[in-house]
Chains A and B, each alone.
Chain A
Amino acid sequence: MIKNRQTTVSCIVVLVFGLFLFYTGTDGFTAYTAETARVTKLVEEQPQFPQVTFEDSEGRTYSISEFEGKYVFITFIYTGCTTICIKLEENMSEVYDRLPGEYIGKDIIFLSISFDPGNDDPATLNKYKDLFGSDGETWRMARIPDQDQLGTLLRKFGVIVIPDGYGNFAHNSAFYLVDRQGALVDVMDFTKVKEAADNLKETLKADRGK
C-alpha cells in the first residue's frame, strides 16, 4: 500500500499529529463533551463562591457568608421548568433524605438557586419548595435579584443557561458542593443520587474527624 519512504514518513507524521490532536482535544481521551471538560476543570480550580445577595422563599436577604462554616449543597433551577429541574430537585430531595439527620443544618445546608429572578419571587419559590418537601431553612430556595451578580456566579461555576425562545431555558445540571470556606470542591452527577449521597456522607464524616 505504501510505496516509498517519504510517504511512510508523512503517513506517520499525520497519524502522530492526529493522535496528539485528539489526545489534547479530549484531555487524554477522557472528555468528549464540553460538559465533562467543564466539570473536570471546576473541580481542579475550586473557584470561590462570589459575593452575591440572595433573596430566599421567606423574603430574607443575605450573602453566602450566611452559610460560613457549613458545607453548601447547591443546584441551579428555575421554577417554570417542566422537565429537568423537577428531576434535579427530586433527586436533591432524595440526597437530603439519605443524609443522616445529624449533619443537616449543622454541617450542611441545601440551597437551590434560581437563575430566573424575573419570575421566581419569594412567593413562587415558597410554593415550589413545598413540592419537594424543602423546609426553607436547612434546604433553602433563593433567587439572586441582581443580574450582574447572577451572571458572575453562573460564569464562575460554568452554568450555561440559554433561553429557548418560549420562556424556557436550556441549562446544564449538576450537584455542586461548596465547602466551609466557600470554595467549590465538587461537582456531582445529579442522576446518580446514591453515589452523590455516599460521597457527601464520606466528606462530612472525614471533615468531622479532623
Chain B
Amino acid sequence: MNQFLLGLVLFIGLMLPPVANLMESVMIIHMHMQMPMLVIAGFFMGQFFQQRFPHFFSKYNQDGIPGIFLFIIIMGYWMLPRTMDEALTVNSVELFKFISLPFLAGVPLRDSWKKLSKNRKNYTIAFFTVIFLGMGWLYIQANDQLCNNYLVNDQIILGWGFITMAISMLVYLVYTAVVDPSLYE
C-alpha cells in the first residue's frame, strides 16, 4: 500500500500544471524524464492493482508477454515526434499521455517483468536498444524541425540522449552475456 501511495504522490506531482509545464519546456526532459517518471509512477501503483485483481493478471498476463507488448506499444507511440508535439498543443493528447504512460505502460511492465524469462528480458532490452539507436539517429541527422514546439538544437540534444541510453543498455547486454555472476558469489 505504501508503494501505491508513493506512486500516486509522484503521479499527482507530475500532473501539477507548473511541474508539467516546466518539464515540457525542455524537449529532452519531456521525453527522457517526465515520460519515464510517469511510467515509474504507474510501476509503483501497479502493486495495488495486482493485489486487487490478482485473478485478472494471472489469467490474461500469464507469461508476461501481452503486458510487455502493451508496454512496448505505448512507449513506441510516445516516441513519435508528432505525439510529443501534440501533447503540448492538444489537451486530449496530453490527458492521454498522463493516463497511458502510468496505467498502460507502468502497470503492465510491473506485472510482466517478473514473469519474463531472462532471455525475454534481454530481448526486450535489445529491442529498445535498437529503437533508441534508430530514434537517436533520426533526431540527430534531421535538419528540419521534427517538432514544431522545439528548436532543432533541442532535437539534437534529445538524439544524443537516446544514443547515450542505447549505449548504456548495450553495456548491460554485453555484461550479462559475458560475465557469469555466479563465479563471483
Contact = CB atoms under 8 A, between A and B. Distances in A.
Given A2-B65, A4-B62, A7-B62, A35 B148 contact: yes
Contacts, number: 82
B98 to A, nearest CB: 16
Interface in B70-116: 70, 73, 76-77, 80-83, 85-86, 89
A170 interface: yes
A82 interface: no
B172 interface: no
B69 interface: yes
B66 interface: yes
B73 A7 contact: no
A35 B62 contact: no
Per DSSP, chain B at the interface is: helix
Interface string B136-167: 00000000011111111100000000000000
B131 to A, nearest CB: 14
Given A2-B65, A35-B148, A160-B148, A14 B73 contact: yes
Which 10 pairs, one residue from A and one from B, show the smallest C-beta to C-beta distance?
A34-B85, A18-B73, A10-B66, A10-B60, A160-B148, A14-B70, A33-B81, A170-B151, A14-B69, A11-B66
Interface of B: 59-63, 65-66, 69-70, 73, 76-77, 80-83, 85-86, 89, 145-153
Given A14-B69, A32-B80, 7 more contacts: A3-B63, A14-B70, A22-B76, A26-B82, A34-B81, A160-B148, A162-B150
